[in-house]
Amino acid sequence: MMFSKTLVLDLVTVILFLVAAGIAGVGIRAVVKGEVKAGGGRHRIRTVFRSTNPIQFWTEIGLYVGAAIFFVLLDLLFSGQAPDWFHQMLSERKHR
């Protein structure tokens, strides 16, 4: 079975939108509960509570929001509706 380019692009846009919605859902859940999982990579994953460490809590929420916005913009890029500044930002080349 051969897939057309539009079907694949539609599938990619739906997956990117679902990822962005999932990230937003996790962020909303974290704000409502007052706790967020932080860490990863070489650091162990731990829970950050809003009442004990508010600066790190809101920093983590900001990272969730930033990731969700990036995935929405990437989704718009694949569907051809991304803003011009996003196209320019991705196509900029920094010369060394």
**82: its two tokens:** 């991304």
Q: Is 45 left (phi over 0), alpha (psi -120 to 50) or beta?
A: beta
CA distance 75 to 19: 10
Domain ranges in the chain? 19-91
Note the helical H segments in 34-83: 54-79
Query: Per the confidence metrics, is the pTM higher than 0.85?
Result: no
**Greatest C-alpha distance within the chain:** 55
Quick: pLDDT tens for 22-77. 999 999 999 999 998 887 767 788 888 988 889 988 998 999 999 999 999 888 88
Q: For the beta carbon of residue 31, count every other beta carbon within 10 angstroms.
A: 15
